[in-house]
């Protein structure tokens, strides 16, 4: 079992005991990032989730972990994850000392992770073109498509494909200098170099690269200084026929605040998009992944998953993982009814729209209040403040009228709504904690 599977096992049990909304709110994007000397480190996406898990769920989490592995003595929670985490860390169950998963380490020089290859990349009509282009580039870097610009939605295989090109080039051209970097990481590199007055060294490092792979370039939107540095590096490499490979979640022309000259550079090469996988390919991907995990699940179940998750391969994998864990713990495959039950939380995804009811529900959940208290006349501070935030969100996100907002809160009049909106707006300018809370709330309000 890997730490990932260990955490999946914890989630699977917790999920049975709390409401789906609660589960999604506090356990989304959590994972075990380390397990050493009996201490488990769980990473959480933000400080609210961290505190919440520490205060409300630590005992249960510990009990489950300890039940799965007696050597576990302590659980700690941290915010965020280290940037260069080893993607899959092997963890061996005490009862079974054999490692089930190969250990994949990200190379420090290239940032490439050997788990992403062409061999385990499933090709279908939806990604045929980017795949073919990527393959061609890996056979003749700098000579076919330059730059190669791959775009498509979240979880559809952009990073996998970019990394596969890198890994293939390492294999075929061992002397070439390759670097994979996310645009986000590149940006922080630029900022640090400016701060430490090391910009020249930074640039010259990049100019020595033969193959530069930049992931999620949409992140450069609005970052003028970084764009400028990137532009110069791009030109220097391009003129020397060095290969540049880029991914983005959208076409260059719809990346906001992207300098015209960079846009035209991006558009000057090959643009290839990954769309959504068709049903057959989804099943094929599930089969490949199950095989990688050395498990086999009945076709009926794979078909079920593929029919339910259509737009995101990462989610497809997440669903499969749940079932693989079940299978490993129970030593048998789940039947279709059990599978449906195990996947219930993952699959509940009504359309992404915010409604007043959703705003109120999420605010109540976030501040651990009952909706009734939030809506009623209570003047307790712990209620008044969240109520003002709810009113603020109704106005800012849903453009509700002030009288409407007042009525929602058991007959308060519109001046209360105006006051709340203005108070929170003003406070937002200087209160960072509040700004973070509002950001998180907005995410939740729009989430499925």
Position among 159, 281, 321, 327 found at the interface with Mg ion (CB under 5 A): 159
C-alpha to C-alpha distances, 327 to 1, 268, 320, 347, 375, nearest whole angstrom: 12, 49, 11, 19, 45
Q: Which runs of consecutive H residues, i.e. helices, occur in 251-335?
A: 260-267, 279-292, 299-308, 313-330
As a 3-state breakdown, the chain gives helix, strand, coil percent values, each rounded to 5, of: 55, 10, 35
Site for ligand ADP in 297-336 (CB under 6 A): 313-314, 317
Q: At 27, which helix (H) or strand (E)?
A: helix 20-27
Distance CA 23, CA 15 (A): 6
Nearer to ligand ADP by Cβ, of 16 and 132: the residue is: 132
Determine, following the binding rule CB under 6 A, whether residue 89 of this chain makes contact with ligand ADP: no
Nearer to Mg ion, 247 or 321 (CB): 247
CB of 147 to Mg ion, least distance (A): 17
Burial class of 409 by CB neighbour count within 10 A (0 to 12, 13 to 18, 19+): buried
User: Is residue 266 at the binding interface for ligand ADP, with CB under 6 A as the rule?
Assistant: no
Q: Is residue 127 part of the contact set for Mg ion (CB under 5 A)?
A: no
Q: Judged by CB, which is closer to Mg ion: 158, or 289?
A: 158
Stretch that binds Mg ion, among 156-164, 338-346, 378-386, 390-398 (CB under 5 A): 156-164
Minimum CB distance to ligand ADP, residue 155 (Å): 5
H or E segment to which residue 298 belongs: none
3-state SS, residue 219: helix
Interface with Mg ion by CB under 5 A: which range of 41-49, 85-93, 159-167, 398-406? 159-167
Q: State yes or no: residue 214 binds ligand ADP (CB under 6 A).
A: no
| Nearest C-alpha neighbor of 390 from the set 377, 403, 371 | 371
Q: Which stretch binds ligand ADP (CB under 6 A): 81-89, 114-122, 194-202, 351-359?
A: 114-122
**Residue 155 contacts which entry, Mg ion, ligand ADP, none (Cβ below 5-8 A, type-dependent):** ligand ADP
Report yes or no: 339 and 301 within 8 Å, Cβ to Cβ: yes
> According to CB under 6 A, which residues from 148 to 187 bind ligand ADP?
154-160
CA–CA gap between residue 360 and residue 329 (Å, rounded): 39
Q: Which residue has 């195990």 as its token pair?
A: 342
Least separation in angstroms between residue 160's CB and Mg ion is 8
Judged by beta carbon distances under 5 to 8 A according to partner kind, the member of Mg ion, ligand ADP, none in contact with residue 285 is ligand ADP
Specify whether the CB–CB gap between 266 and 294 falls below 8 A.
Answer: no
For residue 285, state whether it binds ligand ADP (rule: CB under 6 A): yes
Q: Which residues, 6+ apart, have CB-to-CB distance to 339 below 8 Å?
A: 301, 304, 305, 323
Q: Considering CB under 6 A, how many residues would be counted as binding ligand ADP?
A: 16
- Write each residue from 122 to 141 as x if it is in contact with ligand ADP (CB under 6 A), else as -, in one continuous string: x----x--------------
Return the bridge partners of 88, or none: 104
User: Binding to ligand ADP by residue 346, rule CB under 6 A?
Assistant: no
Contact 258/252 with Cβ under 8 angstroms? yes
**Considering only residues 399-418, where is the footprint of ligand ADP by CB under 6 A?**
none
Partner that binds at residue 273, options ligand ADP, Mg ion, none, CB closer than 5 to 8 Å by kind:
none
- The torsion angles phi and psi of 373, rounded to 5 degrees, stand at -65, -40
Nearer residue to ligand ADP within complex by CB, 21 or 170: 170
Burial group, residue 75, by CB count within 10 angstroms (0-12, 13-18, 19+): buried
The answer to whether 248 contacts Mg ion (rule: CB under 5 A) is: no
User: 104 or 231: whose CB is closer to ligand ADP?
Assistant: 104
Nearer to ligand ADP, 270 or 374 (CB): 270
Question: Closer CB to ligand ADP, residue 273 or residue 317?
Answer: 317
Enumerate binding residues for Mg ion (CB under 5 A). Answer: 158-159
Which positions touch ligand ADP (CB under 6 A)? 120-122, 127, 154-160, 285, 288, 313-314, 317
């Amino acid at each position: 079992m890997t730490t990932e599977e260990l955490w999946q096992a914890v989630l699977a049990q917790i999920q049975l005991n709390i409401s789906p909304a609660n589960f999604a709110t506090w356990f989304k994007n959590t994972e075990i990032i380390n397990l050493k000397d009996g201490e488990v480190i769980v990473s959480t996406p933000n400080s609210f989730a961290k505190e919440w898990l520490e205060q409300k769920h630590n005992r249960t989490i510990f009990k489950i972990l300890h039940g799965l592995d007696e050597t576990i003595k302590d659980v700690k929670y941290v915010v965020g994850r280290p940037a260069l985490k080893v993607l899959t860390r092997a963890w061996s169950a005490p009862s079974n000392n054999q490692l089930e998963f190969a250990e994949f380490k990200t190379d420090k020089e290239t940032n490439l992770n050997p788990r992403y290859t062409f061999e385990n990349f499933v090709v279908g009509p939806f990604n045929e073109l980017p795949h073919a282009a990527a393959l061609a580039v890996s056979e003749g870097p700098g000579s076919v498509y330059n730059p190669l610009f791959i775009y498509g939605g979240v979880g559809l295989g952009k990073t996998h494909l970019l990394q596969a090109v890198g890994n293939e080039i390492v294999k075929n051209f061992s002397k070439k200098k390759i670097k994979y970097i996310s645009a986000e990481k590149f940006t922080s590199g630029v900022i640090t170099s400016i701060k430490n007055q090391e910009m020249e060294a930074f640039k010259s490092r990049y100019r020595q690269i033969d193959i530069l792979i930049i992931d999620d370039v949409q992140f450069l939107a609005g970052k003028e200084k970084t764009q400028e540095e990137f532009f110069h590096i791009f030109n220097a490499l391009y003129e020397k026929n060095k290969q540049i490979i880029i991914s983005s979640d959208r076409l260059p022309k719809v990346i906001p605040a992207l300098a015209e000259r960079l846009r035209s550079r991006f558009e000057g090469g090959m643009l290839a998009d990954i769309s959504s996988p068709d049903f057959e390919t989804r099943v094929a991907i599930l089969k490949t992944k199950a095989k990688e995990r050395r498990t086999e699940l009945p076709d009926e179940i794979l078909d079920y998953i593929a029919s339910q998750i259509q737009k995101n391969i990462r989610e497809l994998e997440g669903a499969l993982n749940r079932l693989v864990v079940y299978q490993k713990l129970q030593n048998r495959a789940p039947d279709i009814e059990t599978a449906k039950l195990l996947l219930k939380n993952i699959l509940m995804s009504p359309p992404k729209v915010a409604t007043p009811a959703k705003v109120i529900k999420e605010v109540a959940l976030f501040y651990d209040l009952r909706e009734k208290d939030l809506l009623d006349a209570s003047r307790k501070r712990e209620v008044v403040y969240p109520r003002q935030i709810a009113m603020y969100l109704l106005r800012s996100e849903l453009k509700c009228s002030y009288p409407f907002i007042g009525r929602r809160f058991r007959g308060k009049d519109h001046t209360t709504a105006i006051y709340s909106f203005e108070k929170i707006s003003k406070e937002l300018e200087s209160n960072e904690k509040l700004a973070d809370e509002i950001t998180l709330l907005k995410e939740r309000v729009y989430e499925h």
